[in-house]
Amino acid sequence: MTESRTVMDYILARRSVRRYQEREVERDKLELLLQAAMAAPAAANSEPWEFVVVTGQEAMDVLRSHLLFARYNAPAAIVVCGNPERANNTAARQFWVQDCSAAMENLLIAAAGLGLGAVWIGVYPLPSVINPVRQVLNIPDEVTPLGIAYVGYPAEEKPPRTRYDAYKVHWQVYELRKPRAKKKERHV
Ligand SMILES: Cc1cc2nc3c(=O)[nH]c(=O)nc-3n(C[C@H](O)[C@H](O)[C@H](O)COP(=O)(O)O)c2cc1C
């Protein structure tokens, strides 16, 4: 992407990419993603996050085999973990999920800006996913994997978009409205 792109362009360009080229992601790009993640806001500036970076076909195959909803051919993964012990006060410890989610979103937007494709694989709060991820990656009990960013060069293109919906916006105070017919669930 060129310098003239605005922050909105990058935000709208971030889409879930689930098909990847057979090409490794360079270490410096993975480090940029980590820089973006660790630029996120955090309650009481507590930075309760830690990251496990997984690369290499063999390691990725093992990780993938434990993830039912993530059998995609990404060459790399960054596991965003929360370590509430790292937070510097009780209030901050309670916000580790939000802090780590902010880090994850920063990472995903940065990936779009770097021409990479990525998708957020949900882990927390499902014990059936947390436990195998902990076990495979040797993550101790006091550290909880929040989610995994699969990362690679994209082999599919998705158009930028927002899902702006005026119905979901209340100006000044919450305005009670008739419920709308539910949209069909989509997973794309
Ligand atoms: C908390 C969370 C968990 C998710 N888990 C998965 C997942 O396990 N597998 C997957 O393919 N996509 C997963 N996604 C991606 C969503 O399916 C995707 O963001 C959504 O369909 C909207 O598409 P978009 O990301 O292209 O805007 C997850 C997203 C979030 C925020």
**Which DSSP string do the residues of 55-101 spell out, in sequence order?**
ESHHHHHHHHHT-TT-----SEEEEEEE-GGGSSSHHHHTTHHHHHH
- Whether 117 maps to a domain, the answer reads yes
- Whether 81 maps to a domain, the answer reads yes
- Whether 175 maps to a domain, the answer reads no
Cis peptide before 41 (omega within 30 of 0): no
* Protein residue whose Cα sits closest to atom 15 of ligand 1: 120
CATH number for position 49: 3.40.109.10
Greatest Cα pair distance in the chain? 53
Give per-residue pLDDT as tens, 16-59: 999 999 999 999 999 999 999 999 999 999 999 999 999 999 99
Residues having CB within 6 Å of any atom of ligand 1:
15-16, 18, 69-70, 119-122, 147, 187-188
- Whether 174 maps to a domain, the answer reads no
- Centre of ligand 1 from the C-alpha of residue 16, in Å: 6
- Centre of ligand 1 from the C-alpha of residue 156, in Å: 16
- Whether 156 maps to a domain, the answer reads yes
- CA of 70, closest atom in ligand 1: 9
Supply the range of the domain harboring residue 89: 7-168
Residue 2 has pLDDT above 70, yes or no: no
Global pTM? 0.94
Domain count across the chain: 1
